[in-house]
Amino acid sequence: MTAKATLYMFNGSAPSLTARLMLEHKGLEYRCKHLVVGPHAFAMPPRGFDMMTVPAVKIAGQRIQGSRVISRALDTMQPDPPLFPADPQRRQAVIEAERRGEDLQDATRRIVLCAARRDPRVFSAVYPHANALVRPAQRASRGLVIRLASAGHHASDFAAEEDLAALPARLDEIDAWIDDALLNSGDLNAADFQIAPNIALLMRFEDLAPHINGRAAAQLALRLTPNTDAPIGAVLPDEWLAPLRASSWRRPDCAP
């Protein structure tokens, strides 16, 4: 497989990073076409894509969108190294973990958008190319993008509060997969690449990092996506964090 791929993405997009990691895992040559979050939606149909979303990959005459669709297409185009195990049971387990990782992706996006509604600087911190929208005459555009994205992804306060309540169980599940060597083993797979960018993004939040650091899930995130981005200050409502504080998990360096 020698075709060069074009990856349409924007920085800060966890699924875009998932697609990038998978292309690199396959050893495929690719170039990134960086788009601006918000206006990116209007850039996709003119390029021949069916949907207005990223990540999107153009390769070998094909146009592919969505991280889970991309993982399967890449394995078909270039089987080695694989993104899914050959063993049927392990393969099915990775497929399910990848699907659950997409659920985490949706939850992470909702949390980010709810935080951004409280402090628009969060949006610019997560999506650096959104800084094109922060000049004085365009600040209203940034607010509009946040509102439209929140509506499009059903990122209500109620949904984000539920996502945070479910986060301890999601992290426990990921830790269990790692303990079982389904994730973060010698042979990385599609679920690793689906999950790690979202954990890394959540770890940037000062509200959330203490509840993730030290977990096996955090080790996976740091292995695949070294955290070099600036932290995001406390912005989430204190009452939303109660389920995390009440979680039975404790950092190894914390007293029982």
pTM recorded for the entire structure: 0.92
Give the count of beta carbons closer than 10 Å to the beta carbon of residue 132: 15
Helices (H) and strands (E) in the chain, counts: 10, 4
Q: What are 209-219's pLDDT values in tens digits?
A: 999 999 999 99
Q: In which element (H, E) is residue 145 found?
A: helix 139-152
Per-residue pLDDT reduced to its tens digit, 165-209: 999 999 999 999 999 999 999 999 999 999 999 999 999 999 999
| DSSP bridge pairs for 8 | 33, 56
Strand partners, 150: none
- CA 112 – CA 236 distance, rounded (Å): 10
In CATH, 5-77 is 3.40.30.10: yes
Residue 62 has pLDDT above 50, yes or no: yes
Residue scoring higher pLDDT (146 or 222): 222
Give 40's pLDDT tier (boundaries 50, 70, 90): confident
